[in-house]
A and B are shown apart, each in its own frame.
Chain A
Amino acid sequence: MSLMTMIIKMSEGLSKTCAIFFLTLLFSLPLGMIVALLRMSKIKIVSAVTRFIITILRGTPLMLQLLAVTYGPYYLFGANVARNKLIPVVIAFSINYAAYFAEIYRGGIESIPVGQYEAAEVLGYTKFQTFMRIILPQVIKRIMPSVTNEVVTLVKDTSMAFTVSYQEMFTIGKQIANSQTSFMPFLVAGAFYYIFNVIVDWVMGRIEKRLDYYR
């Protein structure tokens, strides 16, 4: 098989890689905020339970979580394994990344000086207005570098979908490597991820720059 054919075949899986990537961000970024707020809840039981769930999601392999979400329903209830594996894959990725984002958000929220809340309160901002207008914009600026880190990791982590045989780029590459006994597909995959991340870095850099108008 020529290199060109390999690249073309693997590019076909790239759209699925992108699907995992964008859908995971779409769901995990807001879900992470909900988890962060639950984690910071004044109701002790809520924050304790949330904290426990976060430790599980961060303390066990993503690969295991992928297997659990994809095949768990079959072993537990005898339910059919999802036909479209994208659904369990995105669920597993979103939940896992939400746990990481939640901790980043929490760090960001807790780093905002209490004076910001006090000023807003005295000026008659409601709690919701204070969070949306005063706190959140400052949090986003502060956490951008950590979020970029996670997003870069996510690009590479999409390759883990091969464990449930979801036909994304890396899975296809691995199949070609096996059938052709060639290492070439892995180099191609590496190049794909690298280029993907160069773009991610550029985009995130642009966003950080746009938030650079204040200190």
Chain B
Amino acid sequence: MAENKNNSAEKAKASSILEIRSLQKAFGGHVVLKDISLSVERGNVISIIGPSGSGKSTLLRCASFLETADGGDILYDGKYAMHDGVYASKAELNRCRTRFGLVFQNFNLFPHYSVLRNVSEPPIIHGVDKETARERAMELLKKMGLDGKENAYPFQLSGGQQQRVAIARALALNPEVLYFDEPTSALDPELTGEVLKVIKQLAEDKMTMVVVTHEMPFARAVSNHVIFMDGGVIVEEGHPEAVFGNPTQERTRQFLRNYQR
């Protein structure tokens, strides 16, 4: 019986694309993440909100292996990328990397590549043939509302357009989950809408996403799970209507009150 129970627990875990358990991270004595746990199921859109310095971005960067965490577990599709603070082999980490895509605050497009090449080259280096990669890139650019821009260079585009190229680039590798690290924070206010619209559209297409954001109405409307972080811990989490509409923690209320002004 006990064994059976264990088995089903294992299976339940396996259905999460990403699972993080008691993740810890400090930057030279300053603890940024204390014991963070979270699980991302297929088709879910999770928003992470919280004040600057609360560890939201660090959490995403640890999940994308851009920061080295100090302790805890990171699992992709039930397989350990990090087990109790010890990272898996390089090959295993590379396999995990194919499961997620990351959209940066500052886009980080390759300035010397055309829009088309920005989106088509990553699949090509992964072995997709040029023609297929190109067709798929064109398709994605069209979906992002960027048809006609394929031969432009990033510097010729607005911030909102650049961010949409970056989303297309991340999607071109067919990730199972897409991470957004404050995708609209570097944009002029009038340009955030076009990027949020694209993310919303992806949510409607059942793309699994984790979005670190300061756009509260967007987080409320698009996500089905909201995490409020402060001081390196998850203070409160739950359905957006619960967290935004009826927060149970004083810290959450205080944070949201500041945002409504």
The chain A residues found within 8 Å of chain B, CB to CB, are: 113, 115-116, 118-119, 121-125, 129, 133-134, 137-138, 141, 213-215
A215's partner among B98, B106, B155, B173 (CB-CB below 8 A) is B155
User: Are A123 and B112 within 8 A (Cβ)?
Assistant: no
B122: A residues at CB distance < 8 A: 123-125
Q: What's the dominant secondary structure at chain A's contact region?
A: helix
> Residues 194-216 of chain B: 1 if any A CB is under 8 Å from the residue's CB, otherwise 0?
00000000000000000000000
In the bound complex, how far is the Cα of B173 from the Cα of A133, in angstroms? 18
Expressed in whole angstroms, the minimum distance between the Cβ of A209 and any Cβ of chain B is: 15
Contact A215 B97 (CB under 8 A): no
Residue of A nearest to B106 (CB): A115
Q: How many A-B residue pairs have CB under 8 A?
A: 51
Closest 3 CB pairs of A and B: A119-B108, A115-B108, A215-B155
Q: Which of B65, B153, B155, B173 contacts A123 (CB 8 A)?
A: B173
B125 within 8 A of A: yes
A119 engages B104 (CB within 8 Å): yes
In the complex, the answer to whether A213 meets B110 with C-beta atoms within 8 Å is: no
Q: Taking the complex as formed, is B111 at the interface, i.e. its CB lies under 8 A from any CB of chain A? A: yes
- Tell me the minimal C-beta distance from A55 to chain B in angstroms: 31
CB of A211 to closest CB in B, whole Å = 8
Find A214's partner among B106, B111, B121, B169 (CB 8 Å cutoff).
B111
1/0 contact string of B143-160 vs chain A (CB within 8 Å): 000000000011100000
Are A124 and B126 in contact, with the CB atoms below 8 A?
yes
Look across to chain B and name the residue whose beta carbon is closest to the beta carbon of A141: B112
B112 touches A137 (CB 8 A): yes
B102 at interface by CB-CB < 8 Å: yes
Partner of B94, one of A113, A118, A124, A133: A124
Verify B66–A129 contact, CB threshold 8 A.
Answer: no
Chain A residue contacts of B125, Cβ below 8 A: 124-125, 129, 133
What distance in Å separates the Cβ of B248 from its nearest Cβ neighbour in chain A?
35
Cα A119 to Cα B109 with chains together (Å): 8
Q: Check A122/B112 contact, CB under 8 A, given A115-B104, A129-B125, A214-B153.
A: no
Residues of A within 8 A of B101 (CB): 122
Q: Tell me the bound Cα distance from A119 to B173 in angstroms.
A: 13
CB-nearest residue of chain B relative to A134? B110
Is B15 close to A, CB under 8 A? no
In the complex, are the beta carbons of A214 and B154 less than 8 A apart? yes
Instruction: Verify B104–A124 contact, CB threshold 8 A.
Output: no
- Which chain B residues border A123 with CB–CB below 8 Å? 122, 169, 173
Identify 7 residue pairs between A and B in the complex whose beta-carbon atoms are under 8 Å apart, listed by A's number.
Answer: A118-B108, A121-B66, A122-B101, A129-B125, A141-B112, A213-B153, A214-B111
CB closest residue in chain B, given A116:
B108
**In the complex, what residues of B have CB within 8 A of residue A215's CB?**
111, 153, 155
